Structure 1
Amino acid sequence: MTDRGRTASVESPGDGHLRQLEAALQALRQDLPVLERWGGDLARRLLGGARALVAGNGGSAAQAQHLTAELVGRYRSERRPLSAIALHAETSTVTAIVNDYGPDELFARQVRAHGRPGDVLVALSTSGRSPNVLCAARAAVEQEVAVWALCGAPGSPLAELADEAVCVSADTPTVQEVHQVCIHLLCEAVDGAVQDAAAAGRSRVLDRSPADRAVRQDGSPRSIE
């Protein structure tokens, strides 16, 4: 075999990375109904006044902030802002908690401060074993906050602790890349559910009689022009 032939038959690191990513994305298709259901549920919760709390370390922290930016700002469609907090992003709070209570309490103390029944904690961990994320999940359970996890291989402590988990069996870089896709799929489903809710609200208004529409929200009459 010539040197050229041997070179052509060897898979490059980039080829291997893309092949693993393609396999992980193909496997993600089985979790698409879960992510779409999460999006619909999250939209209903946030439109009803609940909030999303999001926690992760390192690259997962960046993805947590990406998710909250899409919810508070927008993903594709124009809509009302939705309440979401990336728990690593308030630096004075983070440094105070780590200094006074230790790193394991970094997210958990904030969950106890902000979390209310009906809220959602989205917990990201490529290993599923990050101590501070696990503590946050336990605090969420105490606060009656739902826990949805994006993690690595199935069977991790986080996957077992969460109400529901989407697990990605791959190495860390690929897990993070697939988690980013999960975040966008979740946001897509949120936007769709918000649009459906808005359309249903407009339909209810149009179905009301002119006399009904002539009454303000506080019950007082208003003129029809």
Structure 2
Amino acid sequence: MEKIKQLIQASISVKQQLMEDDALVSVIGMVADVITNAFRDGRRVYFCGNGGSAADAQHLAAEFSGRFYTDRKALPAEALHCNTSYITAVGNDYSYDVIYARLIDGIGQPGDVLVGLSTSGNSANIIKAFEVARERGMVTVGFTGQTGGQLKALSDYLINIPSTDTPRIQESHILAGHIVCQLVEETYFQS
């Protein structure tokens, strides 16, 4: 029982630090604005991650393309890892490190947004995707842990959760992502 309470408290503590970091809270608001403007301009939002972060990326993409709070039209967002035939073919024929970069090279357009979730900020396939996204004139948004890792330098906007503990980081990624989804939905559909 005490261990469970300690784990809940650890999650609350990270979220408390996030809430008290005005600069980071501001970045979350900026990301919501960037995504809202991208949708208004007819652009798309792509998500990528690995493992649990892939699940979180898929979750957040679904909040846009499905619905969040309101019954409204779908927004053009997708998680890049959902085509298993593509992922396994490129991983096998080329390298797992280029699974997202190749796809971004094929479908990314200037003004589109690429959101990469990596608790370390050092996932090679997301780093390569961000490099290609920048070459294509896309906006890059990194969801990472405390240091930002290598994604820090490649992110136009960095939501670096103040923790080095993977589960606590992922829990806060979903929190920040849900905030972005709610703000985008409210702003985009207010008129």
Q: Normalised by the size of structure 1, how large is the TM-score?
A: 0.79
Match of 1:222 in 2: none
Q: Does 2:38 correspond to 1:45? A: yes
Q: Which has the higher contact order (CA 8 A, sep 6+)?
A: 2
Match of 2:112 in 1: 119
Q: Give the ranges of 4+ consecutive aligned residues of structure 1 lying more than 4 Å apart after TM superposition.
A: none
Q: Secondary structure at the match of 1:128?
A: coil
Match of 1:188 in 2: 182
The answer for unaligned runs of 5 or more in structure 1 is 1-10, 200-225
Match of 1:177 among 171, 174, 184: 171
Match of 2:48 in 1: 55
After superposition, the Cα gap between the structure-2 partners of 1:49 and 1:25, relative to the gap in structure 1 and judged at 3 Å, is same
Q: Distance in 2 between matches of 1:18 and 1:179?
A: 16
Q: How does 1:55-74 map to 2 (within 5 A)?
A: 55-74=48-67
Q: Distance in 2 between matches of 1:84 and 1:195?
A: 16
Identity %: 36
Equivalent pairs counted in the alignment come to 187
Match of 2:17 in 1: 27
Match of 1:18 in 2: 8
Q: Distance in 1 between matches of 2:112 and 2:121?
A: 21
Q: How does 1:101-140 map to 2 (within 5 A)?
A: 101-140=94-133
Q: Secondary structure at the match of 2:36?
A: helix
Q: Secondary structure at the match of 2:74?
A: coil
CA contact (8 A) 1:47 1:82 kept: no
Q: Distance in 2 between matches of 1:68 and 1:133?
A: 16
Q: Secondary structure at the match of 1:16?
A: helix
Match of 1:203 in 2: none
2:170 maps to amino acid: Q
Q: Secondary structure at the match of 1:149?
A: strand
Q: Distance in 2 between matches of 1:93 and 1:155?
A: 28
The answer for unaligned runs of 5 or more in structure 2 is none
Match of 1:77 in 2: 70
Q: Distance in 1 between matches of 2:154 and 2:34?
A: 20
CA RMSD of aligned residues (A): 1.4
Q: Secondary structure at the match of 1:106?
A: helix
Q: Distance in 2 between matches of 1:96 and 1:76?
A: 37
CA contact (8 A) 2:148 2:158 kept: no
Match of 1:93 among 63, 86, 104: 86
Q: Normalised by the size of structure 2, how large is the TM-score?
A: 0.93
Is the radius of gyration larger for structure 1 or structure 2?
1
